[in-house]
Structure 1
Amino acid sequence: MTSMIPTARYRPVVRIGNWFEDICLEQEKVQAFKSLRDRGQLLVEKTRRLFDNFHKAIELEAPKENVYFGAIVQLMPMKMNICEEHVKAQPALSVIINERVVRHSQNINEECEITIAPSVTPCVRNSFRIVSGDEKDRTNEVIKYGQQFRLECVESQDDMLLLYSAPKSADLKSMIYTTFDSRKWGEINLPLGLCRKSNCGPGKEIPSAYTKWFCTHIEPKKRFESHGAPVPSNTALVITHVPTNKNLAAENVVVQTLFGPEFLVSVQNYKDIYNRERWQNIWMICNGQSEGKR
């Protein structure tokens, strides 16, 4: 009976053929690796190029008493404990890129997202230029409380990348895609994103109003009398989104990114029982001084 059971027998020629096929596959992998290396398409090289582009040093505006149009500044939350006490890096509004985008782009673009990250030194990803919100050149003019402005990425030259947010659509969905989201009372907060200036305006994908912001005094009782007064630098204030009338908010939600653990940021109002903004909505516009006025 045992002689009738078929057994798999391979001749030496078949075994040599299988071995040769494995060798060819390994050679193809090596050739593909060398081709990607020669063209600079390896993921490790893309990641190195990404870090070089995003961490390129930027010189902020010279420290001044007030904030001016055309100045390169950082937006920093006044109160947020990002890590242990011995780490003195102040968090700042920053641009990140996710794993999905890094494979085809290593520069700041419309697919990037916004977070709050520790800022050891000013660089491309955590610095913004303040420009006028009325399409006029107001360079070197003082920004005043209630005056609209825009925030553009410092790396964008020809077609500026502007920071914006957008209200939800009729089906309560956001037009800005983000990898992570934060919530208030179960409802998703409005996220932030980047858009090209050429895509903003009448008949375009994004209304120009979505890119506009203005500053208000931290004390609600002083907002009427301070309206039109110069905005001081490195001082606590509230940054409000024009079309939604909601404030820029630092969320106490930690996420893991390519640059390490960072905090989420949104457009949402957080107020106490006295109708004053809580720590999430309190920011300062830093123009190079090491310590702000607390």
Structure 2
Amino acid sequence: MAAYRPGVLMGNWKEDACLEEDRLRDFMRKRERGELFIQKINKLQDNLLKKIQLSVSKDGFVHFGDTVMFLNPDNKPSVENYPGKCRSLTLAINLDEMSMYSAEPLQAPYGVSAVESVDPVGRNTFCILSVDGGAVDEPIRFGQNFVLGTTGGFSDRMLYLASDHKSFIRFAKKSYLQQVFLTDELSYLTCWQATFLDPQLRLEYEGFPVPANSKMIITHCHTNRSLAVPRNFWTRSYFGKEYEVICHTYLNSHKAEEDKNYWVIVTGNPSNEGGTMIDRPNPHSGGIRKNEFREET
């Protein structure tokens, strides 16, 4: 009988070799179809961070079908609410780290947050849609319903900004107020309206076209509460520090909305491809007018 040598195969070597070949074939097949986990993650990241060209407003108004950013302008320093001044924030898709690295397909609803980046990318740009799917290129008017759809992040479908009344099981994680989220189903929960900033002039401006790059209030039609960024509630996401977005109307002593409810619909810069109107030089000061917007009065 021959003595044992290192070249002698021991145990279930044939079964192990077959299993290894099967794993290799399965790996090659998934790689060809783009089904590997790392491929899915890279594709999701590429879509979320892909540079987006904003629509250019030729008449100064916002239109159905426009690709825009929703920006909450920088606030005034307030000792009561904020430890310091916070920069302008844009509405964005928020995916936590567990969702990003989950092997299972992502399921709605998805989170929404406000980020400090004002560069238009897939995760912080939205397409303005009409409720019935028509009226492309028509200007949006104050008091008219519209839908906000995502432009990047999920190549196989479009998501819509939505909200619903607060309940025992549905509320914002930090402030415990009315939650804002993204869903893949169109319904009465996905309808929004633009409201004129000055409460004393809202009736006069009802039905007028909504100007781009100007402060306004964004109101949820079903709950009649305004889109807001409190700024004193924030979390750490896959992309860093981000602020909670909710639906809550903050009123001051004059019964007017506070700056937490202010929003600017940002369009593209016609003189700079890939730029935005917030990067456009201010002709009065000779400098850059970032975070300086027209305020209709």
Distance 2:151 2:115 in 1: 17
User: Which one of the candidate residues 181, 185, 192 is aligned to 2:173?
Assistant: 181
2:103 — aligned with what?
104
Tell me the percent identity: 28
Superposition TM-score, scaled by structure 1 size: 0.72
Distance 1:37 1:272, change over 3 A: farther
Deviations 1:127-171 (A, max 9, x none): 1000112x14010000010001000112467753211001134xx
Distance 1:106 1:59, change over 3 A: farther
User: Which one of the candidate residues 149, 160, 164 is aligned to 1:152?
Assistant: 149
Contact 2:71 2:264 in 1 (8 A): yes
2:287 — aligned with what?
none
1:164 — aligned with what?
162
Rg (Cα) greater in structure = 1
Superposition TM-score, scaled by structure 2 size: 0.72
Report deviation, 1:275.
0.5
User: Which one of the candidate residues 266, 269, 285 is aligned to 2:246?
Assistant: 266
Report deviation, 1:84.
9.0
1:232 aligns with 2:211: yes
* Range moving further from structure 2, 95-104 or 210-219: 95-104
Contact 2:166 2:179 in 1 (8 A): no
5+ residue gaps, structure 2, are 1-9, 11-19, 269-276, 279-289
Report deviation, 1:83.
11
Amino acid at match of 1:112: Y
1:190 aligns with 2:178: yes
1:73 aligns with 2:68: yes
Contact 2:68 2:265 in 1 (8 A): yes
Deviations 1:98-134 (A, max 9, x none): 2232223688x6242100012242111001000112x
Distance 1:60 1:36, change over 3 A: farther
Q: How many residues align?
A: 252
1:54 — aligned with what?
48
5+ residue gaps, structure 1, are 1-19, 21-29, 201-207
2:7 — aligned with what?
none
Distance 1:136 1:127 in 2: 19
Contact 1:270 1:277 in 2 (8 A): yes
Q: Secondary structure at the match of 2:212?
A: coil
Counterparts in 2 of 1:190-209, with a 5 A limit?
A: 190-197=178-185, 200=186, 208-209=187-188
Distance 1:283 1:34 in 2: 52
Report deviation, 1:266.
0.3
Amino acid at match of 2:148: L
Report deviation, 1:46.
5.2
1:137 — aligned with what?
134
* Range moving further from structure 2, 37-46 or 248-257: 37-46
Distance 2:63 2:237 in 1: 32
